[in-house]
Amino acid sequence: MPDLQIVAVPVLQDNYAWLVFDPETEDAAVVDPGEAAPVLAAAAARGWTVSQAWITHWHPDHTGGIAGMKAAGATVTGPLAEAARITGLDITVREGDVLRLGAHAGAVIETPGHTAGHVCFHFAEAAALFTGDTLFAMGCGRLLEGTPAQMFDSLARFAGMPGGTRVYAGHEYTLANARYAAVAEPDNAAITGRLGAVEAARAAGNPTLPTSLGEERATNPFVRAADPRAFAELRAGKDAFK
């Protein structure tokens, strides 16, 4: 089975929508289209037709392109727990459900914390994890609707996945996250080294995603937190960090 092809599409200020293409069926999906036009342009430039849109949570910067994607023929799938807050869903999913693109199957994982009904999508055979605003490179989402314990548990859902799993997150927040990580763990040489690499990448205008679960285990203080209390202290520190 050919690997999925995954392309970052920058939208809005610092969001990424992710185009996912199955070469065997020549079918494509998009994860979290904050805008439709850039997604459709990126797909057209590659000769791809986007038949599905997959939504991780209700925030407008992840859902703003739904109407445009539907007008272009896409079926929209999103979390059942947030269906009342997402206009335009055709299919709702919950823990244990499966997304399909050609022969590729992605597990729906409920990850409350950033929002109450947030979901992530894990394509195990393709080693791809779409994390929305749950897990970022060297960071995690703010707790806008959930508790520290919920987000700690949500991040722990990824613990058993292989380190080579690629993480496709919803925002280019890595530089700010790396600067905080260096303060949170000043003696972590892996964080220090990664901060330098991230600074160079952003100075050159290059994206820092995807990351990998292995990188996050080594350099993400929130993933490395020992328990919900330690996680809560880190999250409060990041919220106040300038």
- The DSSP result for 90-150, as a single string, is SEEE-TT-EEEETTEEEEEEE--SSSTT-EEEEETTTTEEEEETTEETTEE---SSS-HHH
Handedness of CA 93, 96, 102, 104 (dihedral sign): positive
Residue of 32, 47, 57 whose CA lies nearest to 110: 57
Cis peptide before 186 (omega within 30 of 0): no
Helix, strand, coil percent values for the chain (each to nearest 5)? 35, 25, 40
Beta strands 27-31 and 49-54: pairing type? Answer: parallel
CA distance 64 to 55: 11
Phi-psi region of 80 (alpha: psi -120 to 50; beta: other; left: phi over 0): alpha
Residues designated as active site: 57, 59, 61-62, 114, 133, 171
CA distance 208 to 124: 22
3-state SS assignment for residue 86: coil
